[in-house]
Amino acid sequence: MMISRFPVMTLSAALVLVLSQAQAQTRPAGQTPQSTADPYANNPDAGRMQFPLAAPAGKDSGAITKALPNGVNQGLIDETTWKYGPAYDLPAGESKIWNPVKLKMMRGEKVTGGTVFASDDPSTYCAMANAGYDFIWTEMQHDSRDWENVAKMWRSCPHAKAVPGARVAYADEREIQHAMDAGALVIIIPTVRTVKEGIEGRNWTYFPPLGHRSQGGGPAFDPDMWGSVPGGYRNTINDNVVLIEMIETVNGVKEAREIAGIKGVDAVFAASGDLGNFSGYKQGTPDYERLINAVHDAAIAAGKRLCGPFAWRDRPDFTCFQAGSETAAIARGVAAELGTLKDTQGKPEVGPYATKK
């Protein structure tokens, strides 16, 4: 016996209608729909638009080699010779920097990043973001959280004192664009071994013409995050995002000068732990310190900022630092609060809390 599908389809349609009405009722009067990267999303003119420059129906227009009247780009369509247009140029008088981390870096001031490593709880993230750091280093290289949870954390307090940032897993389109679309204003790329990797990291961080990032939408475009910044998010983010590339391997040190010189890279990070891991030498030994000094020299030569662990805050020319994690901050905060009362728990003679012998 065949069961009719029409009641199910009717129910689905009714459910969509109810949800749409509910969303309309919960949106404050006069509020525009949520902004997106798509200029034609929710277009009220659909079905009424005219396309005077469209190719004729059913015919080859020859557009691959033939320019339209008044077109800037003539001849064969070729990305290597394409003259980029002015559609996303900054409006006159609206080129001021709105990312406070970028502003401090441009001034040569010291910048600190607090690390959110273990938690995906919005309350914990917001506590760290309002604790006094310049940006939050959300750890995505060595933690198992996903981008959905990161987006929820960042959206829970989008304008906290510290701007959202992430150390992505590697120089990858998916990783970096997920971070940028979620609203990252600081991107840290680990283990950059070659100039090619450094360029890939740059390409996915920036919109054209500097990079290859596509307009995927996401929380970054929302008015509650960066959608309402002066000049608009798409037009201004290339001037406001901070890109830090980490030098952690011996070959990365070898190519550090070229990596630091990549246009769009704001700083290089001398990785204190992994430069020891990949070299086999500990901090303080001549071979280890030589590697750190070579990264230092690369940053100085390129006129870029030099980053490292917070313990190096007084090391010459270091102005950008990764501070401790949320778990370390909790431990330090409790120690400061309790003073001599810290770790003075009672010691019963029996049970799981008994003093171990």
Q: Cα(64)–Cα(62) distance, rounded to whole angstroms?
A: 6
Output Rg (C-alpha) for the chain, integer angstroms. Answer: 26
Residue 48: band (very low, low, confident or very high) from pLDDT cuts 50, 70, 90: confident
Residues in Cβ contact with 167 at an 8 Å cutoff, skipping those fewer than 6 apart: 137, 138, 139, 140, 141, 188, 189, 190, 246
Q: Is 258 helix (H, G, I), strand (E, B) or coil?
A: helix
What Å distances lie between residue 209 and 16, 87, 246, 256, 323, CA to CA?
40, 11, 24, 24, 34
Per-residue confidence (pLDDT) for residue 289, from 0 to 100: 97
Residue type for position 134: D
Q: Percent of the chain at pLDDT above 90?
A: 75
Q: Residue 130: is its pLDDT beyond 50?
A: yes
Residue 213 tokens read as 């990032």
Burial zone of 88 (CB within 10 Å; 0-12 exposed, 13-18 middle, 19+ buried): middle
CB 183 within 8 A of CB 163: no
Return mean pLDDT, the chain.
Answer: 88
Q: Residue 21: is its pLDDT beyond 80?
A: no
CB 152 within 8 A of CB 116: no
DSSP code at position 32 = P
DSSP code at position 184 = -
The most confident of the ranges 136-145, 228-237, 246-255 is: 246-255
Give backbone dihedrals phi and psi of 288, rounded to 5 degrees, phi first: -65, -50
Scored b (16 or more CB within 10 A) or e, 163-196 reads bbbbbbbebeeebbbbbbbbbbbbbbbbbbbbbe
Residue 341: band (very low, low, confident or very high) from pLDDT cuts 50, 70, 90: confident
Express each pLDDT in 156-188 by its tens digit. Answer: 999 999 999 999 999 999 999 999 999 999 999
Handedness of CA 85, 86, 88, 90 (dihedral sign): positive
Residues in Cβ contact with 17 at an 8 Å cutoff, skipping those fewer than 6 apart: none
Residues in Cβ contact with 290 at an 8 Å cutoff, skipping those fewer than 6 apart: none
More confidently predicted of 109 and 91:
109
Q: Residue 202: is its pLDDT beyond 90?
A: yes
* ω into 209 cis (within 30 of 0): yes
- How many H helices and E strands in the chain? 12, 8
Q: Percent of the chain at pLDDT above 70?
A: 87
More confidently predicted of 61 and 352:
61
Express each pLDDT in 312-326 by its tens digit. Answer: 999 999 999 999 999
Residue 217 tokens read as 């939408």
Residue 230 tokens read as 């002066």
Beta bridge partners of 321: 112, 308
Residue type for position 71: G
Residues in Cβ contact with 237 at an 8 Å cutoff, skipping those fewer than 6 apart: 180, 207, 220, 226
Express each pLDDT in 269-320 by its tens digit. Answer: 999 999 999 999 999 999 999 999 999 999 999 999 999 999 999 999 999 9
